[in-house]
Structures are given as structure tokens and as C-alpha cells.
Structure 1
């Protein structure tokens, strides 16, 4: 996995959020109203002066009507149909410690994105976002270990090889109740 220092990745996220917001003609105040994140926090993120958590980034993604994975896209997409593992950037959530890696090639016109997650023991992440337009479908495929995924009020315990399909229209939480790291793939399609 390509090691990227937090400041470099924060700069990438900053530029991506800023570009998406301005591309949609949203002011800081308008985006803040759409996603429930303060104007000052969005400004800090857009300047690369904050290390936002996964929960905060999910709120921004929902307000920008994009999947969370797209906030990690490089500013200059490669337009190469192959994404080499050595070039895939890993990001660590400062709150839960989970590590995510966008696997899909950037800049390729595809309605599908694949993300690999390494989820530490006892870690928990809860995304409060509800329905969004356009509608996104997601599948969570556990590669190693076990996790609990709660979609709305429905809880699912998943072990290695299990796959959960759902629509991103309700709050979703992830929990690793075990003492070992779990690894899973998230496939997102719209």
C-alpha cells in the first residue's frame, strides 16, 4: 500500500471537497446547511487544516451527493483502467483507527467503486446519513475476520466470505466485536 502522509492526503481531501462544492455552485453556508457540518469546520477541511474523521467526511459526502470513496480521488485522475496496489493510497480514520484504501481506478467512467477496509479490534464507526439522491447501492464482503453491520434497525453479523447488500438510505454502523483485525471490501454502485 502506498504510504501517504496525513498532510498530503488532507490536502487531497481539501481540494476534492472544495472542487465538488464549487462545481455544484454551493457556498460554504449552503453546504453546511445540506450536511449538518459547521461552516467553520468545512472551511478548515477545505484549507487542509483539519484531519477529519470518517463520520465527518461521510456527512460532507452526503451533502455533496457523492459516495464517501470519491472524497479520496486524486485531483488529476489517472484515466488508466488499471489501479496498481502500489499506487493505492491508504487513509486512517483518526477516531476509530480503521484504514481504507480506494481500490478502483480513478478517472475511469464507471458507476462502481471498490474500497478495502482494515478494521481494528473493538472499533466502531456509525454513519448517520440517510437517503440521498442519486441512490447508492452498497455491498460489504468480509474477507477476513468478523464484523457487525447495522443498517437502520437491522443488525447483521458477518464472517469471512459473507456479503451484505443494502441501499445507502438509512444510518449504517460498523463494529468489530472481536480481538483481531477484520478486513472487508465495500463495493458501491449508483
Structure 2
């Protein structure tokens, strides 16, 4: 999957007629990092993918879906794509992968204890509707400048307009379901 992701990122840049320098300016990511990423020499972090998705104006789930084959109607648990960002302590399972003819998707995410991920770049799709249902642990989510502490069973719903932050301040993993509804 990483090599297909690298190739797709290179295609997106080429489709727009951007040089690596152009993309570096748009994402505030170094040209060398972008080059290594497009050659599949490094794996992207969640924060790096977020910056690229913002530049390409697409949700991360769409980008990841573009590098996977057409998903079946029924997605068995052992066939659900899982992506790990070990440095940040983030794991993402695509429970209901995005599909070009559908507007919603379901993601299961887990943040390790102490994980703190800030998505500072503009959202890939401004106004994207999200619902976050905390299944286990405790999670602090900041959106639109307001911090919300979720405990199991709580659901935070919002439209994504700006930076967000996900923090697990507890000593156990935080596991949550994310429902994304495309406009």
C-alpha cells in the first residue's frame, strides 16, 4: 500500500502541474521529504498526510481509498485496511471504506496513552461533517478553539473548519469510531 500511496501522491502533484518546490511551499514540508515520500523511501505520518490532503483538497480517507482496490459491499474485519503511525501512537482502521458513490464512511481509531496529534493545516474539505463516538478510554478533542473531553459513550459532532487536536491524557488507549459524511 505504501508504494501505491507514494505513486498516487506523485500523480496528484503532477496532475496539478506543481513542482516539488510548489508543493513544499503549499504544505510547509521540505522538498527533500516530499521527494523521499513520493519515491516510497519514507512512510508518511498522520500530520504529514493531513498537510498533503489539505493541499490536494481531499479527506485522508479518500486519498487512502484511491490507492486501494474497489471495496466490496461486505468488509470482513480481517480485510479492513489498517494504517499505523507509530511515532504519534495513532492507528486507523477503515471499517467502512469510502466509495465514490457513497458519502459516508466509518473509521475506528486508537490513540496510545500520551498521544497528542495536532492537525494544524487547513482541513482537506472545509465544512466536512464528523461524528466521533468514544468507545474506550478518555480523549480530549479541540475543534474551533474549544476543547472537549470525551468519556466512553460520548459523541462529539462538528463540521471541520480549522485546526483540530486529539490528545489522550489517560494511561490507557483511547478507541473511538469516526463517522465522516462528505458534502
TM-score (norm 2): 0.88
1:149, distance to aligned residue in structure 2 (A): 0.3
1:22, distance to aligned residue in structure 2 (A): 3.2
Cα RMSD after superposing both structures: 2.0
Q: 1:21-170, aligned counterparts within 5 Å?
A: 21-73=13-65, 75-133=67-125, 135-170=127-162
Please identify, of 44-53 and 23-32, the stretch whose mean Cα deviation from structure 2 is larger: 23-32
Deviation string, structure 1 residues 103-161 (Cα, Å, up to 9, x no partner)? 22354421222211111111111110235555312111111111000113200000111
- Structure 2: runs of 5+ lacking an equivalent: none
Instruction: Please tell me whether the aligned partners of residues 31 and 64 of structure 1 are also in contact (alpha carbons under 8 angstroms).
Output: no
Please identify, of 116-125 and 34-43, the stretch whose mean Cα deviation from structure 2 is larger: 34-43
Instruction: Please tell me whether the aligned partners of residues 97 and 106 of structure 2 are also in contact (alpha carbons under 8 angstroms).
Output: no
Q: Does 1:181 align with 2:173?
A: yes
Q: How many Å separate the matches in 1 of 2:4 and 2:153?
A: 33
- Structure 1: runs of 5+ lacking an equivalent: 1-8
Q: How many Å separate the matches in 2 of 1:174 and 1:114?
A: 18
Q: How many residues align?
A: 182
Q: How many Å separate the matches in 2 of 1:103 and 1:141?
A: 14
TM-score (norm 1): 0.85
Q: How many Å separate the matches in 1 of 2:69 and 2:140?
A: 34
Question: SS of the residue aligned with 1:100?
Answer: strand
